Structure 1
Amino acid sequence: MAESKVTGTARGRLPAELTSFVGRRRELTATRRLLSSSRLLTLTGSGGVGKTRLALRMATEVRRTFADGVWFVELAALHDAGLLGLTLANALELSQVSANPTADLAEYLEDKHLLLVLDNCEQVAEACAVTVSKLLAAAPQLRILATSRHVLGVEGEQVLSVPPLSTPPEESPAADADQYESLVLFADRVRAVLPEFVIDETNRAQVIEVCRRLDGVPLALELAAVWMRTLSLSQIIDRLGDRFRLLTSGRPAGPPRQQALDAAVGWSYDLCSPAERMLWDRLSVFSGGFDLEGAEEVCSGDGIARDDVLGLVAGLLNKSIITRRTAGAHATAWYEMLTTISQYGGLRLADRAREYQLRHRDHYRALAARWATDCFSPRQSDWYLRMRREHDNVRAALDFCLAEPGEGSSALEIAAPIWNFWFAGFLREGHRYLARALDAAPEQTPVRALGLWAGSYLAMFLGEAEQLGRLLTECEQLAERYDDHRLRARIAEVSGHAAIYQGDLAGAIDRLEPALAGYRAVEDALGEFDVLILLSAATFFLGDPRVAEFSQAAYDLAEAHGAESSKAYALWSVGIVQWRDHDQIAAATRSLRDAIRLWQPLNDRTGIGFCVQALSWCGGSAAPDENAARLMGASRAVWRSSGAHVDETTPYSQFDDRTESRIRSTIGDAAFDSAFARGAAYSFEQAVALALGEEAEPARTAKPGMAGRLTPREYEIAGLIGEGLSNREIAARLVISQRTAETHVEHILSKLGFTSRAQVGRWLADHPDR
């Protein structure tokens, strides 16, 4: 029931545990043993039994065993099995590398010593089984830890059934109860709402009764603990008794642990007000979370006034039915609902599910339309961040449309207007959705025309030349049919952009200049800006002096509209011109790094790829050494992660070739090849850090003899620092005060002679057997 915050490094990504981990000693031992002897271990069990927490704790404990890290992939919100490969590639920071991401993953993992944690595989079980088999066959050092409500059925799979927490048997004396895991967990979670709570002689028997009634199922216990804020133990027991009688009346009883979870979730449902229950049911159509606006748009009406939604959300939050994700001070609040709880609401929604799925579709169709008209504005960065957060809901809306007969046009109305969002690390996914939507909506309509144009742009970046030509041809026909001036400008823009990649620079300018005039005629500022950037690129490669004019015009237009992130493209254009004038390499470096920093929050890997590439040219001109060669390799790593097709024959490649020749002639072929390979092997984050001159400082050696003076507790806390936990998270994990955690951290830094937590993490990695 705790909020989850993702932390990550180049060597892995695991959600931090924000509540204490209780018990599971036997299961941890068994998991470690099975994971060491097999390459695929699946933790099975019913919902709420604690599979994910066990997998995360095991992954945390063994993370230093794997040289290439431990990577966690959440699959609960994934319903399209066709996106599994892309999801895994994105989680491993490969993004959409090609049309066959599973093959790319297999190639990437073949020499990696890595643990992949796949959570909630039951959502796409068959696809998981096929993909896991391929990856394990290709990567001999890969191990996979999966959680699923049922086995995957893959050859070599080991299975560990996760039981509920231990609970006192009926014949056990109450005095011996404190040794049981379920009681420890219940007491710990109650203290979150009643800090003074302890199990003593006055309440021990009642706590045992609660834990027995709930069969030791962790989620059920956590739900019950929340109600200690308003109910007594005896009241909880009474209500649980009523719920169990209801569950077992008139139908065969299910497994005890499932009955316990049903009882706890259903009992929490019963304790909500009628309006809160209605909202709970309706919120089940969201995927991955929701904000207040979404809840108001989708869930209000028919018994819930729009003005009442905020209060009802607060009520569900107070009852721990939903959680609020931690966000920045200025970010819109974001709420999440556990899969088990969402599924319960979905079952209750029953016959009305389609009604609210249609409202969900309408909300995201409207959101896509607003994006298209407002993303070139002072709210540009906010829009990108919002759409990244809404990504699972966009997927869910598209999946619904593509599964419903006659909804293909609706899918196009969602996928096409956000064409530029797909460049934020989702090129291949956007291309897939647009292709499916176009197949589902063959009618010659204006919305199809927009889909054809958007699809052609993504096809160009993915190197799909035949498809690009076919889509543009049909798009041109529709532009003539509807006499659509904006669409004509868009077609000319894509044609001109494609001509740049093909090296036809004069032809590109011949297409782009009419596109610029067309966008200006219809007052499309974003289109105008994009074409100005393309004209600056074409004239740059031609040596045309108008490049400075186009670059400045693009910068001024973005500035006038407050589109800070778009200014990054203008800074890229300014930077390459400054680089060409060799006396301005320092200025070029500043411009290009400023552009990257603008793009970083949006994860625009295509734009960042252009900048890292240009920075490698700067490095080759200023100091053609091994660092410059490494930066060239890092440029390749960024392009690889973007998913964009890299053609060795584009005008950009001529500068790559010149830079490479300059560096090779200075340091020699062997040194160049070695340094380039190191950079090319970087993760996206490592490559960007190198380009920004912000590489992590080298690991320092601890003061001689001082490491041995760390106390056992300090060693434990040092390990948590290495996992990326904050002082607050360390305090929660160890059940100590935050101030005590801070004091321990200060002592560790002092004893080791370090000045930063990052140095502690690197010291731990270099001394795994400390």
Structure 2
Amino acid sequence: MADVWTRRGGDRAPSAEDRGHVPGPLVGRERELQDLRTLLENHRLVTVAGEVGVGKSRLAAEAVADVVALGAGECVLGAGERRPAGEAIAGVVAQGPGESVRGVGEDRIAAEAVAGVGARGAGPRIMVVRWSEGGQDAGCGAGPGSPASLTAAVMEAAAGIHGRRGAAGVGAVADRLRAADVLLFLDDVDPVHAECVGMVQTLMEFVPSLRVLVTTRRPLGLGGEAVLRLAPLSVEPVDGHGTGPAAELFLDRFLDRSLERAGASFDADESELSSVADICRYVGGLPLAVELAAEQAARSSVGEVAERLKEHQCWLSAPDMAAPRHRSLRDAVAAPYVLCDRDERIVWARASILAGDFDESTAAFVCAGGGLAPARVPACLTRLAAVGVLTPVRDPGGIREPRYRMAPAAHDFGGERLREAREFEVAAERRAIHFHRVAALAENLWSLGSQPQAVRLVLDEAEGLRAMLEYAPRQPELAAAALESVLNLWFWWAVYDAADEGRRHLLRLLPMCRSDTLLIARGLCLAAWLTAYGDPYGASELLQHAWSAAVLAGDDATIGRIAHVQGMLALHEGDLERATEQFQEAANTIPPHVSGGLPPAVSLAALAVTQTQQSPRAARRSVRRALSQPGIRGDAWACLVARYAQAFVDHSDGRTGRARLRAHRALAALDGRLPAPHGCAALRDLITDIDRGSRSGLPTAAVPRGLTGVAIPKQADSGILG
């Protein structure tokens, strides 16, 4: 039977106010709890590591409670007060120390335990020592501990003497622990991490019977250490049905708190459950943030909390939470921040401008400056990842740089520090410059025949590109760089079914740029192309302004691409003669090897499709011209479109076997690891028509009424690109 050594911070028995609320049941941690039990059974040193608020202490307390509960009925707390063993351990670890503890010396150590577990038997004795918040400003996080403070706290708990903490050596602690079978539970020891490493190493060497369980944001790094890395709860359902573990935790805490407040209610309809899922997604499944959000939802409404969390989450708080360090998400995240050095704090704040995943070179460019050399940034990233501020999303090593993602709460906290330092606008400009280069590189890769690499680059940097483009209209001097980035990503919007997003960015940025630049002509043409199928009337208006700007700029490529879009509109209106003329003009006007938009081979393929019914021979000539264009073999998408036109013409001529073979070959040439480009669906429909023995008609569609509010650009400042 386990024997738990009890010590409260004061000499009196703990009151209900000291203890606060007993923690609710563990939710969504069944597998991790079983893994921790197994590790405790098979290893002398076990560390539960993870970011702040992920539930390390709660999980470890539950595992320790299991050790206590083996044959134990009750625990005695103070003057005859009894509580179940598991509840006692969990409650002691989860609650904050009493005022008397915070006032003892400068060490800010609370030595806590539970006494009198049944009859003292042969089982292990359990001693809990937790570093607590110090002083009145505990919410800002505890700073580094004073020398030997952890060792003194362990000695105090082992000796059972409170308030007379002296300079105790590790040897004296080892002598105290050697006589018993002890499980030493060191909880939340990050402020004394270095001391903890040395003390545990010595105790493990000189006390063979000792077992140690540690919770910390980064492992101790000792030999024989078994590490359980705790990740946030999954937002998605485990089996694909029902609610995910994060949503289950929210609902459990929300319903529990709702019972304590009059008027709180919850209608579990689809809308409310969707809001719960959104909340869990916004906070990244972090258990502390989920519980604080549930507390706020019990005070207001689930929908209101979800709306507020869209923008920010550090405002989450619950003043009556048992543990002081858990009463505010901002204060919880501040705990690792105060332990960071100057460079790490700068990198944390400046890297918060980056959305989604980013690599070392991106962070080095954005974060360097003001006394911080680029060469020091990677080491800061590694240290921030060690304490859970950053999460590695790709294993480091090899030829690829490591990539990181900042935890949502840390991201918002870093953004607050960035604004306090008045560096947000500078960081946003550096981000715009970087992702402008990324977009230019992607376009170069695409135009030079490395289209799979271009698509992978955009996929990797999609969230960062999107954040830059969304923010650019708020800082007008960034508009020109953002517009050029949108134009360089034309292939992503047009070829990979992201037309709505690309069109939205264009229509927001075009009015902010100078109307006499080549960018405007290209932007209006691309906007018309992306608008053509959804709003032909709006596209026609855009084309009129684009044509004038392109003629004034003498841009033959844009003039030819305008003709191509006009051919698209004519084709969908059923005007084959006009469509043929426009596609012919586009094919003759767009110069070969000109980047920044669709190549002449695509216009020739469209021309062949329109010629099929009226002039099959001309259609075959157009297909041959498309497939013989310079660079067609290196342009996978243009080749795919041309192969579709070739199979379409063959099928129309009755050569179904050849048409089927060519269509299958065109599809087989695609990289299945990448999104399907525009044209794949048409090829599959063509194969279906061939298999059914039916003729494929021209791709026509009903023309809807124009509903787009088109903003035509006016004279504006030129921006950072001039």
Output the TM-score relative to the length of structure 2.
0.52
Q: CA separation in 1, counterparts of 2:400 and 2:665?
A: 25
Structural mapping, 1:49-60, within 5 Å: 49=53
Q: CA separation in 2, counterparts of 1:231 and 1:253?
A: 41
Partner residue of 1:495 out of 563, 566, 579: 566
Counterpart in the other structure of 1:335: 404
Counterpart in the other structure of 2:361: 293
- By how many angstroms is 1:355 displaced? 0.4
**Are the counterparts in 1 of residues 479 and 513 from structure 2 also a CA contact under 8 Å?**
yes
Partner residue of 1:281 out of 349, 352, 358: 349
**Inter-CA distance 528–311: structure 2 relative to 1 (3 Å threshold):** farther
Counterpart in the other structure of 2:619: 547
**Inter-CA distance 523–400: structure 2 relative to 1 (3 Å threshold):** closer
- By how many angstroms is 1:49 displaced? 4.6
Partner residue of 1:224 out of 206, 216, 227: 216
Q: CA separation in 1, counterparts of 2:437 and 2:224?
A: 46
Q: CA separation in 1, counterparts of 2:373 and 2:381?
A: 13
Partner residue of 1:401 out of 446, 450, 472: 472
Larger mean CA deviation between 547-556 and 443-452 belongs to 547-556
Counterpart in the other structure of 2:681: 609
Structural mapping, 1:456-471, within 5 Å: 456-462=528-534, 464-471=535-542
- By how many angstroms is 1:588 displaced? 1.9
| C-alpha distance after superposition, 1:96-144 (max 9, x if no partner) | xxxxxxxxxxxxxxxxxxxxxxxxxxxxxxxxxxxxxxxxxxxxxxxxx
**Inter-CA distance 473–648: structure 2 relative to 1 (3 Å threshold):** closer
Which structure's residues are more often helix, by fraction?
Answer: 1
- By how many angstroms is 1:306 displaced? 3.5
**Are the counterparts in 1 of residues 53 and 332 from structure 2 also a CA contact under 8 Å?**
no
SS at match of 1:304: coil
Q: CA separation in 2, counterparts of 1:388 and 1:174?
A: 57
- By how many angstroms is 1:575 displaced? 2.5
Counterpart in the other structure of 1:759: none
Counterpart in the other structure of 1:348: 417
**Inter-CA distance 608–209: structure 2 relative to 1 (3 Å threshold):** closer
| C-alpha distance after superposition, 1:555-575 (max 9, x if no partner) | 454865623344322332233
**Are the counterparts in 1 of residues 647 and 663 from structure 2 also a CA contact under 8 Å?**
yes
Q: Is 1:535 the equivalent of 2:604?
A: no
Q: CA separation in 2, counterparts of 1:204 and 1:381?
A: 55
Partner residue of 1:429 out of 484, 501, 504: 501
Counterpart in the other structure of 1:591: 663
Q: CA separation in 1, counterparts of 2:401 and 2:191?
A: 41
**Are the counterparts in 2 of residues 575 and 592 from structure 1 also a CA contact under 8 Å?**
no
**Are the counterparts in 1 of residues 593 and 630 from structure 2 also a CA contact under 8 Å?**
no
* Bigger CA radius of gyration: 2
Counterpart in the other structure of 1:504: 575
Q: Is 1:383 the equivalent of 2:466?
A: no
**Are the counterparts in 2 of residues 223 and 320 from structure 1 also a CA contact under 8 Å?**
no
**Inter-CA distance 346–211: structure 2 relative to 1 (3 Å threshold):** closer
SS at match of 2:336: helix
Return the letter of the residue paired with 1:322.
L
Q: Is 1:647 the equivalent of 2:701?
A: yes
Q: Is 1:207 the equivalent of 2:182?
A: no
Partner residue of 1:173 out of 114, 118, 122: 114
Partner residue of 1:303 out of 361, 364, 371: 371
Counterpart in the other structure of 1:580: 652
Counterpart in the other structure of 1:657: none
Q: Is 1:369 the equivalent of 2:440?
A: yes
The answer for unaligned runs of 5 or more in structure 1 is 1-22, 30-46, 55-163, 184-198, 215-220, 234-251, 625-631, 636-644, 651-770
Q: Is 1:520 the equivalent of 2:622?
A: no
Structural mapping, 1:434-473, within 5 Å: 434-441=506-513, 443-462=515-534, 464-473=535-544
Larger mean CA deviation between 608-617 and 543-552 belongs to 543-552
**Inter-CA distance 492–586: structure 2 relative to 1 (3 Å threshold):** closer
**Are the counterparts in 2 of residues 475 and 491 from structure 1 also a CA contact under 8 Å?**
yes
Counterpart in the other structure of 1:73: none
Q: CA separation in 2, counterparts of 1:521 and 1:606?
A: 21
Counterpart in the other structure of 2:484: 413
SS at match of 1:425: coil
Q: CA separation in 1, counterparts of 2:641 and 2:405?
A: 35
Q: CA separation in 2, counterparts of 1:175 and 1:296?
A: 56
Q: CA separation in 1, counterparts of 2:341 and 2:181?
A: 32
- By how many angstroms is 1:315 displaced? 4.0
| C-alpha distance after superposition, 1:378-404 (max 9, x if no partner) | 321111122123222122111211122
**Are the counterparts in 1 of residues 525 and 546 from structure 2 also a CA contact under 8 Å?**
yes
Return the letter of the residue paired with 1:207.
L
Q: CA separation in 2, counterparts of 1:222 and 1:367?
A: 43
Structural mapping, 1:70-89, within 5 Å: none
> What is the aligned-residue RMSD (CA, Å)?
4.7
**Are the counterparts in 1 of residues 567 and 583 from structure 2 also a CA contact under 8 Å?**
yes
**Inter-CA distance 649–331: structure 2 relative to 1 (3 Å threshold):** farther
Larger mean CA deviation between 559-568 and 328-337 belongs to 328-337
Q: CA separation in 1, counterparts of 2:215 and 2:553?
A: 58
| C-alpha distance after superposition, 1:583-605 (max 9, x if no partner) | 44365255346437616544245
- By how many angstroms is 1:285 displaced? 0.6
**Inter-CA distance 283–455: structure 2 relative to 1 (3 Å threshold):** same
| C-alpha distance after superposition, 1:681-725 (max 9, x if no partner) | xxxxxxxxxxxxxxxxxxxxxxxxxxxxxxxxxxxxxxxxxxxxx
- By how many angstroms is 1:260 displaced? 7.8
**Are the counterparts in 2 of residues 282 and 349 from structure 1 also a CA contact under 8 Å?**
yes
SS at match of 1:290: strand
**Are the counterparts in 1 of residues 392 and 405 from structure 2 also a CA contact under 8 Å?**
yes
Output the TM-score relative to the length of structure 1.
0.49
Task: Count how many residue pairs are aligned between Structure 1 and Structure 2.
Answer: 441
**Inter-CA distance 507–414: structure 2 relative to 1 (3 Å threshold):** same
Partner residue of 2:391 out of 297, 304, 323: 323
- By how many angstroms is 1:478 displaced? 0.9
**Inter-CA distance 167–530: structure 2 relative to 1 (3 Å threshold):** farther
SS at match of 2:488: coil
SS at match of 1:606: coil
Counterpart in the other structure of 1:571: 643
**Inter-CA distance 406–357: structure 2 relative to 1 (3 Å threshold):** closer
SS at match of 1:336: strand
**Are the counterparts in 2 of residues 409 and 448 from structure 1 also a CA contact under 8 Å?**
no
**Are the counterparts in 2 of residues 453 and 490 from structure 1 also a CA contact under 8 Å?**
yes
SS at match of 1:420: helix
Larger mean CA deviation between 311-320 and 468-477 belongs to 311-320
| C-alpha distance after superposition, 1:402-452 (max 9, x if no partner) | 122454434322223322212323222222221222244463432222211
**Are the counterparts in 2 of residues 296 and 309 from structure 1 also a CA contact under 8 Å?**
yes
**Inter-CA distance 597–264: structure 2 relative to 1 (3 Å threshold):** farther
Q: CA separation in 2, counterparts of 1:533 and 1:327?
A: 43
Q: CA separation in 2, counterparts of 1:223 and 1:260?
A: 20
The answer for unaligned runs of 5 or more in structure 2 is 1-22, 30-50, 59-88, 98-111, 118-122, 130-176, 194-212, 226-317, 705-722
Q: CA separation in 1, counterparts of 2:474 and 2:124?
A: 52
- By how many angstroms is 1:298 displaced? 2.1
Larger mean CA deviation between 261-270 and 527-536 belongs to 261-270
